[in-house]
Amino acid sequence: MSIAPNAEEFLADFQTMSQFGATGNGGVDRQAASPADAEQRLWFRKLLESRGLDVRYDQIGNEWGLLEVVPGAPYVVVGSHMDSQPTAGKYDGAFGVLAAAHAAFRLQAEWEAGTRPDPTYNLAVVNWFNEEGSRFKPSMMGSSVFTGKLSLDEALKVSDVKGISVRSALDEHGFRSDWQGPKAAYCAEIHVEQGRSLERDDVTIGLVHSNWAANKYEFVVHGEQAHTGSALIEDRRDALLGASMLVVVAREIANSFPGVVHTSVGQLDVYPNSPVVVPSRVSLLLDLRSADETALAEADARLYRRVAEIEAEANVTVERKTAHTWPVMPYQPEGVQLSAKAAAGLGLSYKPVMTLAGHDSTNMKDLVKTVMLFVPSVEGLSHNEAEYTKDEDLISGVEMLTEVVARLSNGELDG
């Protein structure tokens, strides 16, 4: 494969970016506002500023690189997130942020050279804060505050397991101000697919037309501490037993809707977590996802029927502490059509897809017309250090995003 100079530059920057929070197995660990996340944010700031973009942080720590070409005009917002899970792949989110930056660099050069028509809108490259939700819950925090779905005060009060608040973590690194962010005209995001469909069908670009619905719950199972040796089994109120039954129930629900409903339990916090104490409290995060809202509602009803049964069987009480839900919401079809034209013009294979995962663009599409794009993930692996996307697909993704952003900045979806 012959790689153009600007593609080589992108790959070199991607390699540098991947060193921040690098793990021993080829992945990254840069949870939101951690030292590793702060290091890569400062590096990214310097990269943007070296190309003349004005870098600012808003009230919830979103990192913005502003390219103002049309004074006073709104901005096409383009980007993703650089924060990660504790041991994660280096492509998830980060590719989309760097691709956005390089799309802006290319368009800036073309506008200055007069090889593209002057735009109608400005560009805003964004690195959204705490998309993953691994350190601070909920996920997609930065875009939720920006779009008004989550209050700023509520977000800033959230604390991690060590008791460090979002406010403190951001202020420690100077990543917060009173600014509310730029006025958005449109939005675009590109991401690795985190699924197998593009690779399976040998397609380069996924045109995301809708998201799956999701119900994400935090349950707290309450029991009573006892000695693991001396307490009679029939007397025990074992919170971990009740939580374990919820884990099994989640899988049973998924199995009863094969391929239609996805479920998981991704986190358990056990108290007092001692080898000789029956746990008195267990917190767990459980989610249900589906593209079929009728199936999701039935799965949800089954879950709550089983919760009542588990309370009786395990002699515990189950509290639903928080919930974070969203419905099936299509992306604007005119944005999908614009993307199809862009892909065809570039000679890239493409197909419509849905996103099973949440992304910041799923918030933004409720504010402005939004385009979401995927590039293939090898074997669909994600949230794993072995996550991988081929260089040629990354490069094609940057080319595709550049063309889409150019069309949005030219007002192709106006009216």
| Residues 310-322: tens digit of each pLDDT | 999 999 999 998 7
- 274, with CB counted inside 10 A (0-12, 13-18, 19+), is exposed
Rounded distance between C-alpha atoms, residue 255 and residue 251, angstroms: 6
| Residues 354-391: tens digit of each pLDDT | 998 889 999 999 999 999 999 999 999 999 999 999 99
In this prediction, residues 138-142 reach a mean pLDDT of 95
In this prediction, residues 207-217 reach a mean pLDDT of 94
| Residues 80-92: tens digit of each pLDDT | 999 999 999 999 9
pLDDT band of residue 95 (cuts 50, 70, 90) is: very high
pLDDT at 57 over 50: yes
| Residues 71-81: tens digit of each pLDDT | 999 999 999 99
- Domains of the chain by range and CATH? 5-212+328-409 (3.40.630.10), 213-326 (3.30.70.360)
**Looking at residue 2, what is its pLDDT?**
42
pLDDT band of residue 398 (cuts 50, 70, 90) is: very high
pLDDT band of residue 141 (cuts 50, 70, 90) is: very high
In this prediction, residues 28-45 reach a mean pLDDT of 98
pLDDT at 3 over 80: no
